[in-house]
């Protein structure tokens, strides 16, 4: 309770509140622009937060995360183009309502559902993260190594490509993490004589490159796409009957989204799809879905926004990102010298709860910003791609250089962007690469610490109950689906023979 009050007092700084308000506006703008998303927005803003204190820096990043996730609904409803992939299911019912002249009604339901879903998830975050951290407080290096290995096993499913391609991308990220001087042996690896690489490949330029610059190159192929905007003369808020119709859906999808967000490797996109399907399953009028159902909008938006708070649970408590955007925020924590994990909740509890309260505040702020500013943001979406993405490119280069005032970081960002473009071209997700880069260094460090602790007897890690548990979970995550598939295939002929 003391930590929660201290965190709230830290948030009472007027300058911080102003920053959060502007970040909310920026996050809504980022989410409303087709092609941009929360991950790209956070990655682009990350280098500009390096000189800030940790609390305002991470508060701004999480604000962009929450606001951009909601704002994807604006373009999904108004121009049938989801600003983020998490709002793809919102198009199914939001755009038909807009075509009937009820865009305000659809935006109202989206805003209310997003706000309630986000608030519920943050409350769950406040309760679940400290409990998870307390359970993990007695972790030693072997347990941390096993936990990080378990987190890396999720690379197969965290991207949108095939599991094999995701593992390859993640392995490439781990390989990049080996660049630099080994802290245990002081041996230089893959630096090629460049002193700038002695401390390893920095996270921020890579994040900017694979998420920002690569998206610029992808968008260059879409210059011919024209978007049709629905004219919205006025905003009419939903009625009491509308809210009565969707409140059960909002609560259900909020629970689903929070749970999905907590699972490492999942995220808002998966949560929105499941929330939408469950809303249709439990609806008394499933035939309206796809034609302008308010329950469909509520199911999608409550789920994807509640996933943001859920994704921060493993990120802060265990150091395992719960979503692609959480992976970038994790990089931001590490850049500021913060180590996510159980000790953060005992040694830096004020910081943790300040972040919690800032996420709660932004979920309230974007209700008004997103609803009443919808007409403005709808017009901003008409900015031609030919103008928008060169601006993004300039911000990317400036952001990469601003971190260390080093041209090496600029070349790393451009190189990462080119690599990311070709990865996307051949259906490789860039998300496992970024997470592999982050977790790879942690994995190597914790393995070295474990070997020193166990006197080079690595097999003793299997005698420790918690580390053994994570090893088993890793094996299940990697080989469980394959074994289950083989068993199912063998059982099927037997059953058909029995008939």
pLDDT digit string (tens) for 44-67? 788 888 888 888 888 898 888 888
Inter-axis angle of helices 54-78 and 294-317, nearest 10: 160
Residue 237 is predicted with a pLDDT of 60
pLDDT at 269 > cutoff 80 = no
pLDDT at 25 > cutoff 70 = yes
Residue 133 is predicted with a pLDDT of 61
Residue of 473, 483, 444, 481 whose CA lies nearest to 182: 444
Residue 236 is predicted with a pLDDT of 57
Give burial (CB, 10 Å; 0-12/13-18/19+) of 420: buried
Tokens of 477: 């995550």
Q: Where is 181: in which H helix or E strand?
A: strand 180-181
Name the band, by pLDDT with cuts 50, 70 and 90, for residue 218: confident
Residue of 172, 132, 182 whose CA lies nearest to 152: 172
CB 94 within 8 A of CB 394: no
CB 80 within 8 A of CB 228: yes
pLDDT at 378 > cutoff 70 = no
CA distance 277 to 411: 44
CA distance 76 to 111: 13
Better-scored residue on pLDDT, 267 or 152: 152
Name the band, by pLDDT with cuts 50, 70 and 90, for residue 234: very low
Better-scored residue on pLDDT, 236 or 444: 444
Q: Where are the domains of the chain?
A: 2-463
Least confident range from 46-50, 340-344, 362-366, 435-439: namely 340-344
CB 269 within 8 A of CB 76: no
CA distance 256 to 178: 38
CB 387 within 8 A of CB 32: no
pLDDT at 361 > cutoff 50 = yes
Q: What percent of the chain has pLDDT over 90?
A: 1
Q: Where is 327: in which H helix or E strand?
A: helix 324-335
180 DSSP 8-state letter: E
Bin 293: left if φ > 0, else alpha if -120 < ψ < 50, else beta. beta
Residue 499 is predicted with a pLDDT of 45
Name the band, by pLDDT with cuts 50, 70 and 90, for residue 148: confident
Buried-exposed string 276-296: b where 16+ CB fall within 10 A, e elsewhere: bbbbbeebeeeebbeebbbbb
Tokens of 210: 């694979």
Of the spans 50-64, 146-160, 340-354, which averages the highest pLDDT?
Answer: 50-64
Residue 356 is predicted with a pLDDT of 83
pLDDT at 233 > cutoff 50 = no
Cβ-based neighbours of 265, under 8 Å, separated by 6 or more:
154, 155, 157, 158, 322
Better-scored residue on pLDDT, 313 or 304: 304
CB 209 within 8 A of CB 471: no
pLDDT at 247 > cutoff 80 = yes
Phi/psi of residue 180, each to 5°? Answer: 115, -175
How many angstroms separate the first and last alpha carbons of the chain? 63
> Within 13 A of 234's CA, how many CA atoms are on the CB side?
3
Per-residue pLDDT tens over the stretch 429-488: 787 887 788 778 878 888 888 888 888 888 888 888 888 888 888 888 777 767 776 766
Q: Where is 292: in which H helix or E strand?
A: none
- Report H helices in 373-406: 374-380, 385-404
pLDDT at 256 > cutoff 60 = yes
Residue of 433, 403, 399, 438 whose CA lies nearest to 418: 433
* Over residues 27-44, mean pLDDT: 75
pLDDT at 147 > cutoff 60 = yes
Name the band, by pLDDT with cuts 50, 70 and 90, for residue 265: low
Tokens of 80: 């049938």
CA distance 111 to 117: 10
Q: Where is 160: in which H helix or E strand?
A: none
CA distance 494 to 424: 42
CA distance 268 to 303: 7
**Average pLDDT over the chain, rounded to an integer:** 77
* Over residues 276-284, mean pLDDT: 82
* Over residues 1-21, mean pLDDT: 77
Name the band, by pLDDT with cuts 50, 70 and 90, for residue 74: confident
CA distance 319 to 351: 16
Better-scored residue on pLDDT, 429 or 411: 411
* Over residues 106-124, mean pLDDT: 85
CA distance 37 to 325: 9
> Which residue pairs from 391-397 have beta carbons closer than 8 angstroms and sit at least 24 positions apart in sequence?
392/36, 392/40, 392/44, 392/212, 392/215, 392/216, 393/212, 393/213, 393/216, 395/44, 395/212, 396/44, 396/208, 396/209, 396/212, 396/213, 396/216
């Amino acid at each position: 309770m003391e930590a929660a009050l201290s965190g709230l007092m830290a948030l009472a700084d007027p300058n911080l509140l102003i920053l959060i308000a502007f970040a909310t506006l920026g996050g809504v703008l980022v989410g409303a622009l087709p092609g941009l998303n929360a991950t790209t927005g956070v990655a682009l803003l990350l280098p500009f937060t390096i000189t800030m204190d940790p609390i305002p820096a991470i508060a701004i990043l999480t604000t962009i995360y929450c606001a951009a996730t909601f704002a994807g609904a604006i373009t999904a409803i108004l121009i049938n183009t989801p600003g983020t992939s998490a709002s793809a299911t919102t198009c199914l019912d939001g755009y038909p309502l807009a075509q009937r002249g009820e865009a305000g009604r659809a935006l109202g339901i989206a805003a209310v559902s997003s706000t309630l879903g986000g608030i519920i998830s943050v409350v769950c975050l406040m309760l679940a993260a400290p409990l998870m951290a307390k359970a993990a407080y007695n972790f030693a290096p072997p347990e941390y190594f096993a936990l990080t290995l378990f987190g890396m096993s999720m690379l197969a499913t965290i991207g949108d490509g095939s599991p094999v391609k995701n593992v390859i991308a993640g392995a490439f990220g781990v390989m990049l993490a080996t660049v630099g001087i080994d802290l245990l042996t002081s041996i230089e690896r893959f630096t090629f004589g460049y002193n700038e690489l002695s401390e390893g490949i920095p996270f921020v330029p890579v994040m900017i490159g694979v998420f920002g610059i690569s998206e610029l190159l992808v968008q260059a192929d879409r210059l011919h796409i024209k978007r049709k905007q629905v004219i919205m003369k006025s905003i009419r808020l939903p009625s009491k009957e509308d809210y009565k119709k969707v409140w059960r859906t909002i609560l259900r999808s909020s629970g689903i989204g929070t749970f999905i967000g907590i699972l490492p490797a999942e995220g808002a996109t998966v949560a929105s799809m499941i929330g939408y399907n469950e809303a249709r399953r439990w609806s008394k009028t499933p035939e309206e879905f796809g034609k302008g159902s308010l329950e469909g909008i509520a199911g999608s938006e409550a789920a994807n926004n509640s996933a943001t708070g859920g994704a921060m649970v493993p990120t802060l408590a265990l150091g395992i990102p719960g979503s692609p955007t959480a992976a970038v925020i994790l990089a931001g924590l590490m850049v500021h010298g913060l180590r996510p994990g159980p000790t953060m909740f005992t040694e830096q509890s004020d910081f943790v709860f300040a972040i919690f309260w800032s996420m709660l505040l932004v979920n309230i702020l974007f209700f008004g910003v997103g609803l009443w500013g919808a007409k403005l943001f709808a017009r901003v979406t008409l900015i031609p791609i030919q103008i928008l993405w060169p601006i993004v490119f300039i911000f990317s280069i400036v952001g990469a250089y601003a971190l260390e005032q080093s041209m090496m970081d600029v070349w790393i960002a451009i190189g990462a962007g080119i690599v990311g473009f070709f990865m996307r071209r051949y259906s490789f997700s860039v998300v496992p690469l970024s997470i592999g880069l982050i977790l790879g260094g942690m994995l190597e460090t914790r393995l070295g610490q474990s070997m020193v602790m166990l006197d080079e007897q690595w097999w003793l890690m299997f005698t420790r109950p918690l580390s053994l548990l994570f090893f088993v979970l890793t094996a299940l995550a990697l080989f469980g689906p394959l074994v289950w598939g083989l068993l199912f295939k063998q059982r099927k002929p037997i059953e058909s023979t029995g008939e």
